[in-house]
Chain A
Amino acid sequence: MSAPAAPEPRRPRLNPFAFPSDTAFRFGLLVVAVLGANLYVWQWIASTTRSADEHTQGALACLDLVPQGTDAFSRCVSELYRYQVSWMLGGTAALAVASTLVLLAFPWWIARRRKLVPLAAEDAPAAVERIHALADEQGVRRPELLWNPLDPSPSGLAFGRPGRYAVAVGGGLVVKQATDPSAFDAVVRHELAHLRNRDVGITYLTLATWYAFLAVAVLPFAVTLLTDSRNPFLGVTWRLLALALLVYLTRNAVLRSREVYADVRASSADGPGGALQRVLAALPAAPRDLIARVRSVHPDPAERLAAVEDTRPLFPLGAAAAFAAGLSSTIAYESVVQLLSTYVDEPLDLRLLAALAYAPLAIGVVGVAIWREAFAAHADGREPASPWHDGLAFAAGLLLGPDLALAGVVIGQDTLLRNLGSAAGLAWAAGLVAGVVLLLAWIRTSASWWVRALGGRHPIAAGAIGLVVATGALASFMGIFYGLRSVPEALSFSRAGSEAQHAAVDAQVWAVPRPVWQFVMDGQLLVIVQKPVFVPVLALLALFPFAAMLIRRRPEQAFWAWLDPGGELRTPRLTLRPLLPLALGVAVGLSYLLAIVAVRFGVHAGASAETRATDAAILSFFVGTLALALVFAFAAGALGALRGGLIGAIAAAFVAGCFGWLGIVGGPMLGGCVDPLSLNPGPCAWTVPAAFSWDVFQQVVAEGAIAGLAGGLVALGVQALVRRRRAEALQPAGAAP
């Protein structure tokens, strides 16, 4: 007879508290979404204070200014609606005051509803003393203690407001202190963990904001709706319900995740012999039906037990949370745009500034989770999970948000989702999805490289910098994306302008094909790439991951990474191989310089001095060399992608673009010094104005990045195809595996 197998020892648990929690960001997004909805409501209310005649007269007066130029017209319109800003800010202040009052009232209301009374030492001396000892052990300030002697459950509750937290216990739990001290400790540690994890303040702040919104915004809103001639009641009602559902479901989902974190925190002090697992196992199973489960603020005890046993499932984000983050980011985005529109005229700047209200929180949710997952994956010696699922879910949320926005009652005819049926709409949506997925892929690779480079040191500083860069990228992307969508006529105008320019030049001298010309000289694209934030963000995107190479450290023990003793990181060291795309970028860039020399020589030899001196020839040469730089950037991107994925593509293209800039703006000096390379006579000195030089740099680098990304995608696609063909050749269809 064989002896029974010994139970498998528990793997040391990874420390989920080593990373910032996404709770604050998820609740923060909800608060900002509610604030945005509040802005819209007060703008609406403000609009009802003026009659339709007043609006019409004001608009007509502005139209009279059209002959003075678009700036004068825009200023007039901004001033016409500026009175709404004071209403919107007043509504925000009212919401803040009401939220504060609700927040302060919450503890009183909970104590009243649960019939809680102070738990004095003379009521239950041993229990009180033990709770104080456990608070000291957990490193939290001793909370106010309350109890309901008639509450028979052996449970507790953490509540309160920032600065004054309380723990309430039932009579059943107090008795447990005598009958089952370890179970008492486990439950109290769980409640204290909520305080330590800072769940209480942020939970009640979010709820207070929501209830205050209902009182301060929805009630007066409803009154104005009833008297509104546009009859928007139905449209507003279902959108408000959608917002309420988002707040409710997100709140519950976050609370469920916080329960697990509280269990894990409690289990650390509870130790392997503690009673937490026994107490959790005794809890009744969660209801099976979906409605009851999403309404629940506690996960199924089996899930809680599993998380206490192994914390690894806590590290990834999950598609549902990513979707909610995307939805929260755009559900009230348009309201912030409306607020800022009276001060900012330029559509891209306007959208970018509005995006800054949401991007840090959205990145806080998805970006932190990606860094966490990268750390956890490498710690176990595996590759971080693909960002596809979370990226698609996040993008889906971004897509759906504008359709659920209150602002959609009036301006909801042209949302991405509604236009999905058309080819243009599909292209816009695909652009959004691609941008978001690429950004998340960038975060994943950056996190992976930095975690590996740090060799067991805490990646908090690198993560913070990386997430700031990602925030800038997301805000820029949202600003550009929604900005361009808001001015479709400008895109058409821009296309028509570059087409006319090409036709004029092509009539006089040779010019690159029209589609290439239009890409290089597209007016709207030039406006975008010459925004002050665009190139710095692009440079950081290209170079931040590679900066990890500069600080490569030897692996060392990382005690901070584990909850249990005996943990050992299996994180692979970062090799220098990822630097290859940068080297490829240099090689391609040098090739471009040689090509430019050849082109200059050819043009000098092939065209007469008179022809070369015409404006058309100079412009055609400029566009041609720019286009050539983009071809090299495309090639650099393709090569970089084969060695370093899409990050390699962007980095290689960025480096090649820098050489491209040098080739273009250094050309006149080169021609001045070496006559056979000159386009027109000039001095052997750097005479290109700095402003023009900077504009060219931005154009080459930004358009080069787009070309490089395209090259990278093509190269990766071809590579995948070739690998598949090879696999099929080695394993003919129908053959046994």
Chain B
Amino acid sequence: MSAAANDDLVAGLARAAVERAAPEELPLFRATSEAYFADPDALAQQKPRDEMLGFGVEAAAMLVTPVALQVARDVIGFLQEQLRERAREHGEGAIDRLIARIVGTDGKEEQAAEPVPELTDEQLEQVRALAVEKARSLRLSEERAELLADSLVGSLATA
């Protein structure tokens, strides 16, 4: 899969999660995702700083979108890894089809023609744990981290 296609997948999953977890951030999603994909490592470098003539140090991050993008990126990577084995059983295009279904870019005809592997409950739980841990590490509050993880898992489960 090309990098651009992978970015589309990450953006799709993140957007789906933001729609559920923080819909008020959707107007900024385009600008935020563009900044994120321009320099994905920049988010990890965002640390609370006691800046001269700033307002003060915040304990927790207030913005979900960048965290959702980073978490979505990790989740996509995790899914790709997890499904690699099952891809051998269902064919090489299964992963792309599954993830394309998640982001809503799949066609009905394709669905009917090719079987798509489903995520097991255990895998969904693993995704949730991964999402919570990552969101916490990016200073999202406990409550928001849980909400984001649930939204992501919800997006995957209902895809």
Contacts and interface: CB of A to CB of B under 8 A. Distances in A.
Interface in B46-65: 46, 48, 50-59, 61-65
Given A150-B46, A155-B54, A297-B51, A172 B28 contact: no
Interface string A187-227: 10011001000011001000000000000000000000000
Interface of B: 22, 24-25, 27-28, 31-32, 34-36, 39, 42-43, 46, 48, 50-59, 61-67, 138-140
Contacts of A176: 62
Contact of B28 (A171, A199, A255, A284): A171
Contacts of A156: 54-55
A355 B128 CA distance: 69
Nearest to A175: B25
Contact of A297 (B50, B59, B61, B62): B50
Contacts of B25: 175
A301 B50 CA distance: 13
10 contacts: A151-B63, A152-B66, A152-B139, A153-B58, A154-B62, A157-B51, A191-B53, A259-B56, A284-B57, A298-B57
A179 interface: yes
Given A153-B48, A172-B63, A301 B56 contact: yes
A187 B32 contact: no
Contact of A190 (B46, B55, B59): B55
A306 interface: no
B65 A171 contact: yes
Contacts of A179: 24
Contacts of B48: 153
Given A123-B31, A149-B32, A174-B28, A157 B59 contact: no
Q: Which of A171, A179, A191 has the most CB of B within 10 A?
A: A171
A172 B58 CA distance: 11
Contacts of A152: 46, 61-64, 66-67, 138-140
A156 B50 CA distance: 11
Contact of A298 (B24, B56, B66): B56
A170 to B, nearest CB: 7
Contacts of A190: 55
B60 to A, nearest CB: 9
A117 B38 CA distance: 12
Interface of A: 115, 117, 123-124, 148-159, 170-172, 174-176, 178-179, 187, 190-191, 194, 199-200, 203, 255, 258-259, 262, 280, 283-284, 295-298, 301, 304
Contact of A175 (B24, B54, B55, B58): B24
B53 A172 contact: no
A111 to B, nearest CB: 13
A258 B51 CA distance: 13
Residue of A115, A150, A159, A191 most packed against chain B (CB within 10 A): A150
A152 B28 CA distance: 12
Given A148-B35, A172-B62, A298-B54, 10 more contacts: A115-B35, A149-B35, A151-B46, A152-B140, A154-B62, A171-B28, A190-B55, A255-B53, A283-B56, A298-B56
B53 A170 contact: no
Contacts of B27: 124, 178
A284 B59 CA distance: 6
Given A259-B56, A298-B56, A172 B24 contact: no
A283 to B, nearest CB: 5
B53 A175 contact: no
Return the 9 tightest CB-CB contacts between A and B, nearest first: A152-B61, A152-B63, A172-B62, A284-B59, A172-B63, A149-B32, A155-B55, A149-B35, A153-B58
B5 to A, nearest CB: 22
A203 B52 CA distance: 9
B28 A158 contact: no
A117 B52 contact: no
A187 B139 CA distance: 20
A15 to B, nearest CB: 22
A658 B139 CA distance: 75
B91 to A, nearest CB: 37
A283 B57 CA distance: 7
Contacts of B53: 157-159, 191, 194, 199-200, 203, 255, 258-259, 262
A284 B43 CA distance: 22
A517 B39 CA distance: 84
Contacts of B139: 152
A171 B42 contact: no
A258 B50 CA distance: 14
Contacts of A153: 48, 58, 61-63
* Max chain B C-beta neighbours (<10 A), residue from A155, A157, A179, A304: A155
Given A171-B65, A283-B57, A284-B59, A296 B35 contact: no
A150 B42 contact: yes
Contacts of A123: 28, 31
Contacts of A194: 53
B63 A170 contact: yes
A122 to B, nearest CB: 9
B143 to A, nearest CB: 14
Contacts of A154: 58, 62
A174 B24 CA distance: 11
Most B CB atoms within 10 A — which of A123, A199, A295?
Answer: A123
